[in-house]
């Protein structure tokens, strides 16, 4: 289609329609949380190779170092509670 | 890169390095507006949600080609508009004759209330809220009846409140064509809404 250029888009009628649109539609829409779905698609299509960290599915949560330290701490506590086993 | 905003330049740098937290930040910052734009363009929540996810996947795939010649949000909108055009064509062929989500909304509300809303405005009481919904349905349904090329310019200007320069960057159209399409779209929309309401929009 060939559009006639230079039409003035700010006449009185145009303002009335713009006002109607803003009143009826420019409210905050309920937006779904898209992040999980996007992450899933990216990982699926890249076979987990897209992000720099390779395979992580976390969203800024606990790091692997902390998980390792917590595991070591649990083992140490268990050792202290149960006590060294006397094999003699 | 000719970025206008340092923070945006840093974010893009992190995105190019495929930093997952940067991707999450980007999605959270733009998901609501991208979803809203697509919902107004397509009229179906399920389709808009699916397409919004696809928009961000495309953004992440193509981020290396972003040169900072426009705002990042403008570039994302451009991808959203292009994908919505393609999806719109597909849906028109596949679902011809089916109702959009807005047309399927409750229609038991008195049309007289919607007329008052069209003339006056503010929504407060339950009656008024129902009338506001009815008016939204009428206007949204009218938007979906517009020619797609007119609809995109109208939605970007009057609902998303973007500048003419931003709309030019998103659609790739010259200023005169953008203004002309918005003007025509408003004229078509006015006719459709007035036909539905049975009176002139004041």
Give chain B's mean pLDDT: 84
**What is the distance between the alpha carbons of residues B22 and B62, in angstroms, rounded to a whole number?**
15
Contact in structure between B139 and B193 (CB atoms under 8 Å): yes
Percent of chain B with pLDDT over 90: 53
Q: Which residues of chain A lie closer than 8 angstroms to B39, CB-CB?
A: 29
Q: Could you tell me which chain A residue has the CA closest to the CA of B35?
A: A31
Q: Which of B115, B119, B146, B158 to mutate to test the interface with A (most CBs of A within 10 A)?
A: B158
| Pairwise pLDDT comparison (B4 vs B38), residue with the higher score | B38
| Yes or no, beta carbons of B201 and A20 under 8 Å apart | yes
What is residue B108's predicted lDDT score, i.e. its pLDDT? 44
**What is the distance between the alpha carbons of residues A59 and A35, in angstroms, rounded to a whole number?**
9
**What is the distance between the alpha carbons of residues A3 and B180, in angstroms, rounded to a whole number?**
7
Q: Is B199 helix (H, G, I), strand (E, B) or coil?
A: coil
Percent of chain B with pLDDT over 70: 80
What is residue A10's predicted lDDT score, i.e. its pLDDT? 61
Angle, CA of B120, B123 and B127, to the nearest 5°: 100
Contact in structure between B44 and B101 (CB atoms under 8 Å): yes
CA B110, B111, B114, B119 dihedral sign is: negative
Contact in structure between B11 and B66 (CB atoms under 8 Å): no
Q: Taking chain A (88 residues) in consecutive chunks of 10 residues, what is each chunk's mean pLDDT? A: 48 85 76 88 79 54 82 92 70
Given the cut 0.85, state whether the ipTM is greater than it: no
What is residue A12's predicted lDDT score, i.e. its pLDDT? 77
What is residue B201's predicted lDDT score, i.e. its pLDDT? 79
Residue B123 scores a pLDDT above 60: no
CA A25, A26, A28, A33 dihedral sign is: positive
- Residue reference for tokens 């395979």: A55
Average pLDDT (B77-92) is 88
What is residue A56's predicted lDDT score, i.e. its pLDDT? 47
What is residue B77's predicted lDDT score, i.e. its pLDDT? 95
**What is the distance between the alpha carbons of residues B16 and B18, in angstroms, rounded to a whole number?**
5
Interface residues on A facing B, Cβ-Cβ cutoff 8 A: 1, 3-9, 11, 13-14, 16-18, 20-26, 28-29, 31-35, 37-38, 41-42, 45, 50-53, 56, 59-60
What is residue B180's predicted lDDT score, i.e. its pLDDT? 95
pLDDT band at B145 (very low <50, low <70, confident <90, very high): very high
pTM: 0.72
- Return all residues near B92 (Cβ < 8 A) that are at least 6 apart: none
């Amino acid at each position: 289609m060939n559009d006639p250029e230079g039409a003035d888009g700010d006449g009185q009628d145009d303002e009335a329609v713009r006002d109607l649109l803003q009143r009826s539609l420019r409210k905050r829409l309920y937006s779904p949380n898209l992040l999980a779905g996007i992450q899933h698609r990216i990982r699926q299509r890249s076979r987990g190779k897209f992000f720099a960290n390779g395979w992580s599915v976390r969203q800024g949560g606990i790091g692997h170092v902390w998980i390792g330290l917590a595991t070591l701490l649990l083992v140490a506590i268990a050792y202290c509670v149960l006590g060294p086993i006397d094999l003699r | 890169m000719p970025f206008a905003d340092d923070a945006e330049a840093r974010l893009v740098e992190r995105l190019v390095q495929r930093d997952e937290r940067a991707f999450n930040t980007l999605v959270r910052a733009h998901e609501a507006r991208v979803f809203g734009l697509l919902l107004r363009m397509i009229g179906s929540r399920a389709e808009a949600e699916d397409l919004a996810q696809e928009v961000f996947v495309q953004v992440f795939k193509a981020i290396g080609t972003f040169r900072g010649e426009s705002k990042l949000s403008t570039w994302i909108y451009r991808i959203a508009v292009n994908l919505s055009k393609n999806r719109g064509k597909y849906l028109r062929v596949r679902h011809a004759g089916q109702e959009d989500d807005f047309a399927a909304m409750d229609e038991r509300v008195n049309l007289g209330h919607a007329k008052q809303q069209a003339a006056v405005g503010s929504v407060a009481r339950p009656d008024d809220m129902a009338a506001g919904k009815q008016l939204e349905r009428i206007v949204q349904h009218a938007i979906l009846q517009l020619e797609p090329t007119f609809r995109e310019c109208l939605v970007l200007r009057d609902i998303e409140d973007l500048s003419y320069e931003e709309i030019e960057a998103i659609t790739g159209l010259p200023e005169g064509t953008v203004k002309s399409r918005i003007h025509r779209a408003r004229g078509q929309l006015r006719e459709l809404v007035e036909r539905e309401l049975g009176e002139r929009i004041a």
